[in-house]
Structure 1
Amino acid sequence: MNPSFPSITFPNHWTLATGLYPEAHGIVGNEFYDPSKGKMFIHKKPEISMQSEWWSGEPIWTTSSKQGRKSGVIMWPGSAVPKTLPDYLIDYKREVTAEQKMDMALEWFDKPLEERPQMISIYIPQVDQKGHGGGPEGKQLNGVLSKMDDAVGHLLKGLEERNLDNHVNVVIVSDHGMAQTDKSRLIFYEDILSKETLSFLREREAWPLLSLRPVDNAPEGIVQQIYEELYNYTQQPNKDHADGKAHFQVYLRENVPERFHYSNNERIAPIVTIPDVGYAIVSHKDYKIPHGVHGYDNLALEMRAIFMARGPKVSKLYPESGTVFSPFFNIEVYGFLTRLLNLNEAPNNGTLHGVFQPK
């Protein structure tokens, strides 16, 4: 499965939940500036990020609740937003293990039928956390993957013990992939832009993109000036990398290639700079970077996400066990879930409506 662009956590979790591209649902990065509000969205500050004003679209748990099916969400990004609260919510706590989350879901299955949620979403961040720390090639990652696999097994066993394995559909997805990086693949943007240009910039947005926005009192023409300084750098032999390449592409927001679906929202900065996979655009004061990075071109091999599904409705739709689908974009997951739940879709960007093409 291909993630949406940029291939980072909050935009893609909300895309999975709503079926909307980030430019449509408004969560265009983990950190971004909204010029109409005059303030920053910062995903790690829930007092800011969990305000309803940031979030557009209808997540699957709201669709479910609106149509008479109770919903429960365990720590999914965006689920604590007041205007789209599920019927049951367990808010994010970093220290909770994957197996503990599966037990929380199983406890909901033990509720009386009239109280039991028919739609449950669970977020597990441990693979992402270890991927950032050691990279996708790091020694610790296989152990974490094994624990996550055990947690899924724990859930399936719990369903079987409750005689629910032939009644529950289980869908497993990831929000993005991960690429290995290191200090040999750093690009210092302060060495590219002039001091004058740097003096007119707000704080960068949408890491690992270099999304740049001028301050309100910047002179006319500054956006074009920023673009030309970055673009001209890409047209010259580069002495900092052995292959002589700049290792990034820069666009004015309105010229970002259409396939990214990343132009039609003012929360996207006027300058969008996309590093090559494995490279990081940094400043000299914050060049400490993780060993694993994501957020690159959403069609890059390293950014691919996963999609797996099993259960009675899945088998009805796709009778042949082990069916492999042709690649699709994660805007289609919402439609697939509504199909499993026999729900009417809210407006979204998906086109397949839950009907995937076997490979």
Structure 2
Amino acid sequence: MYPSFPSITFPNHWTLVTGLYPEAHGIVANEFYDPLLQAGFIHKQPEISLQPRWWGGEPIWATSTLQGKRSGVIMWPGAAVPIHSATADYFIDYDRSMSAVDKMDMALKWLDLPLERRPQVIAIYIPQIDQKGHGGGPDGPQMNMVLSNMDSAIEHLLNGLDKRNLGSHVHVVIVSDHGMAATHSSQLIYYDDIIPHDLLPYLEREAWPLLSLRPVSDAPPDIIERVYEALYLYTQSVDEPHFEVYLRQDVPERFHYNSTERIAPIVTIPDPGYSFVTHKEFDPSLGKDYRPRGMHGYDNKAVEMRAIFMARGPTVEREYKAGVVLEPFQNIEVYEFITHIMDLTPAPNNGTLHGMFKAI
């Protein structure tokens, strides 16, 4: 499965549950500025990020609630935000100490409720693989351990369903929001060596690890043109610049990332594994490792950024052969797949497959 661009956590979690590209639902990065609202979105500040004005589209739990079916959500980004005045019937907020097995136990506990109170859709977010990927890289020493723990948690869930005689009745869908690329101090792009120093104080950076640049209010009137020209001329003057730069309106259509002013006027996309830094942010002469050791957010079609999709359940087994491998698809298609197996009418979305995937 291909994530949406940029291959960052909050945009892709919201795409998975709404079927909309980030440019359409409005969560275009983990942190960004909206010039119409004259305010900035910061995902780690709930007093900001939980305001409904940021979030477009209709997540699957709101679709479920509005059509008379119950839902439960465990830590999914954006789930605490009321959409059309609807929230999940059962909700557990982000808690770093809660293990993957604990989350599966909570889902099973909800399924033990009386039929009239039982949720028909449950969404669970598990961040540990992403955290270890950032800390130690995708091939880091602890990655196999957390992958094994995740496998065990899924096994725990499936065994719990079987013990309740629900194994052949419940659909289980496993996705990731993005991949992970290894970073290194040899893959740094010092953008303060490219952009004229007198312009740097007038720029705000967004959508990290992209170098998405937005002028501050008192910036020179021609700053966008001058900064873009400096970055573009650099790409033409060296054999391997390791990035591409676009004005927002010129971002290639395949990225679906140019139709809202929440996207910065200059969008600079590094090659997978490369990082934009300044000399102040990282001084190689100090002999320290560059952190994080793993990063995502790059071209969503890059091999390192690809996501996963696996599904089982009665509808899946009726419509596909067991073990079938699907043709790659965009993660905007997941929302309608869920509404299809739940017999719900989907809200407007960017999907084109209408819940039916093609087998290889």
Indicate the TM-score class for this superposition, using the shorter chain for normalisation. Answer: over 0.9
Over residues 155-184 of structure 1, what are the superposed CA-to-partner deviations in whole Å (9 max), with x where a residue is unaligned? 000001111111100000000000011000
Q: How far off is 1:284 after superposition? A: 2.4
Provide the residue aligned with 1:127 in structure 2: 129
- Aligned equivalent of 2:232: 231
- Which digits, 9 at most, give the CA deviation of each residue in 1:185-218, with x for residues without a partner? 001111111122112212x100000000001122
- Give unpaired runs (5+ residues) of structure 1: 238-243
1:127 alignment partner, SS class: helix
| 2:250 matches 1:272 | no
1:37 to partner: Cα distance? 1.5
Q: Is residue 65–residue 87 contact of structure 2 (8 Å, CA) maintained in 1?
A: no
Please give the alpha-carbon distance, in whole angstroms, between the structure 2 residues aligned to 1:138 and 1:289.
13
User: Following the alignment from structure 2 to structure 1, what is the Cα–Cα distance between the partners of residues 203 and 36?
Assistant: 18
Question: In structure 2, what is the equivalent of residue 257 of structure 1?
Answer: 252
Taking the TM superposition and a 5 Å limit, the aligned residue runs for 1:157-168 are 157-168=159-170
- The within-5 A match list for 1:1-359 is 1-83=1-83, 84-202=86-204, 204-237=205-238, 244-287=239-282, 288-318=290-320, 320-359=321-360
Cα distance between partner residues in 2 of 1:143 and 1:173 = 19
| Letter of the structure 2 residue corresponding to residue 263 of structure 1 | N
Give the whole-Å Cα distance in 1 for the aligned partners of 2:185 and 2:309.
32
Hey, what's the Cα distance between the residues in 1 that align with 2:229 and 2:48?
34
- On the 8 A contact 2:135/2:291 being kept in 1, the answer is no
User: TM (normalized to structure 1)?
Assistant: 0.96
Aligned equivalents of 1:94, 1:224: Cα separation in 2: 43
Q: Describe the SS at the equivalent of 1:213.
A: strand
- Distance in 1 (CA, whole Å) between partners of 2:215 and 2:231 is 15
Q: For 1:159 and 1:146, locate their aligned partners in 2 and report how far apart those are by CA, in whole Å.
A: 20
- Matched residues in 1 for 2:15 and 2:241: separation? 31
- Structure 2 residue matching 1:230: 3-state secondary structure: helix
- 2:287 paired residue number: none
SS in 2 for 1:313: helix
Counterpart secondary structure, 1:281: strand
Which amino acid in the other structure matches residue 35 of structure 1? P
Paired letter, 1:330? N
> In 2, Cα distance between the equivalents of 1:201 and 1:279?
21
Deviates more, 1:113-122 or 1:184-193: 184-193
Return the alpha-carbon distance in structure 2 between the equivalents of residues 74 and 90 of structure 1: 5
Deviation at 1:219, TM superposition (A): 2.3
Q: Mean Cα displacement is larger for which, 255-264 or 309-318?
A: 309-318
Q: CA deviation at 1:69?
A: 0.7
- Unaligned runs of 5+ residues in structure 2 are 283-289
Task: Report the alpha carbon displacement of residue 63 of structure 1 after superposing the two structures with TM.
Answer: 0.5
* CA apart distance, 1:46: 1.2
Q: In percent, how many aligned pairs have the same letter?
A: 66
Q: Which amino acid aligns with 1:325?
A: L
* Post-superposition CA distance 1:106-144 (Å, at most 9, x none): 000010000000000000000000000111111110110
Q: Distance in 2 between matches of 1:229 and 1:12?
A: 31
Q: Residue 317 of structure 1: CA displacement?
A: 1.6
